[in-house]
Amino acid sequence: MSNSPSDPSISERALWPLWLAGKFLLGLIFLSLVALAITIYLSKSGYRLPLDGTAQPVTPSYMQEINRRSLEHAASHGLSQVGARFVYTIYFKWTGVHNLALKKNTADLSSGFFVRAIEQNPDTVAVAMLAAQLFGIRAGNVILCLPLVFLVVMLAAVDGLAEREIRRECGGHESGTRFRIATKLSFVLLPPAIALLYLCLPLDISLGTAMMPALIVTFILFRTKTKYYKKYL
């Protein structure tokens, strides 16, 4: 009997860690592009973001301060610096923008429009460069916090399964509605909190501030999901 289209392939079932790592890497690439686009838009539109109680425009000096604070609060300075250099190298060194900003090897860039656009918008280019470094710094923090996310999920699952066993022994009622709602919403807050608030927006915010409320909600929902799983399976 053939597998249904929704069934995972043999390679996906056998190499699921690689599949998961690949999806995570693609997600980071997409989020890095979103972070650059948002930061450039905020800079060009003159939008002001809060910093030390005052609203300040997104300028190179603002981004330098955000980068400095993010690096100071990094869980691993080494990993954050490697991430910052890696993202910066991909987007600016490999594309030649770094050399152009330093007035080196400008002949390598064949597009005259591209060259003029960079030369006429030095502040925007500087903001984009700093935004790439900021994304690398914060991506390193997120990677180091993944074990904490897994720990929260495992604790919620163990607690929920214990409650399920008690419910089964005591003849507790089923609640398919609670199970379906918890299943759909288990991780609905965690990715946006990490991706949008922390990785993509150049705000003066710590990873703990962005993640803690989402982790609490994720724990409650995942616990509810396992607690109201069918008790007679």
- Domain-wise residue ranges, the chain: 28-227
DSSP type of residue 71: H
Residues 23, 145: Cα–Cα separation, whole Å: 17
Cα atoms found within 13 Å of the Cα of residue 19, Cβ hemisphere only: 9
Q: Report the Cα 196 to chain-centroid distance in Å.
A: 7
Asked whether 49 and 58 are in contact (CB, 8 A), the reply is: yes
pLDDT for residue 232: 47
pLDDT for residue 177: 64
Give, for all 233 residues of the chain, the pLDDT tens digit: 445 555 566 666 667 677 777 888 888 889 899 999 999 999 999 899 999 889 999 999 999 999 999 998 888 889 999 999 999 999 998 888 888 777 655 555 555 666 777 778 889 999 999 999 999 999 998 888 888 888 988 998 888 888 777 776 766 565 556 666 666 666 666 677 777 788 899 999 888 888 888 788 888 888 887 777 765 44
Q: What are phi and psi of 7, to 5 degrees?
A: -70, 140
Q: What are phi and psi of 44, to 5 degrees?
A: -70, -35
E-strand stretches of the chain: 48-51, 54-57
